[in-house]
Amino acid sequence: MSRKRLPALSPAETEILRLVWLLGRGTVQQVCDKLPPRRRIAYATVQTLLRRLEKKGYVRHESQGKAHVFSPAAEREEVIRRTVGDFVDRLFGGDPLPLMLHLADHSKLDADNLKRLKKFFAKKKP
């Protein structure tokens, strides 16, 4: 696989890409419907964002009749890794620990998730 670095994602693009991952495959309309109520963006705007994501290589589309069906075109894990990495670099100089502690502190974790984390770290080896 051609592991070339894709162009950076803008915040809005990131948001849309997340929805494409969530859907697996979906039309512009379906992506719109998945938008959180808080974050209302016009259909046309989502369209543009998807177009740009495609140009950048993050999604592809296939024409299904009239509509376009979009689907991921890049390894999600890889994109996440890079995006998180960049974020940690900028805000914490590359050290992930402060972020982890911050998240652990400020996130309202339900008992279930907390248990998962406890277990995860209990058995994690150096």
Partner DNA sequence: TGACGTGTTGTACAAATGTACGATAATAAT
Partner DNA sequence: ATTATTATCGTACATTTGTACAACACGTCA
CA 48, CA 6: separation in Å to the nearest integer?
18
What x-and-dash track marks residues 16-55 binding DNA by CB under 7 A?
-----------xxx-----------xxxxx-xxx-xx---
Q: Strand locations in 5-76, DSSP E?
A: 59-64, 67-72
Residues 15-74, interacting with a copy of itself (CB under 8 A): 15, 18, 22, 36
Segment holding 35, helix H or strand E: none
How many Å apart are CA 101 and CA 104, to the nearest integer?
5
Binding residues for a copy of itself (CB under 8 A): 11, 14-15, 18, 22, 36, 80-81, 83-84, 86-87, 89-94, 96-97, 99-104, 106-107, 109-111, 113-114, 116-118, 120-122, 124, 126
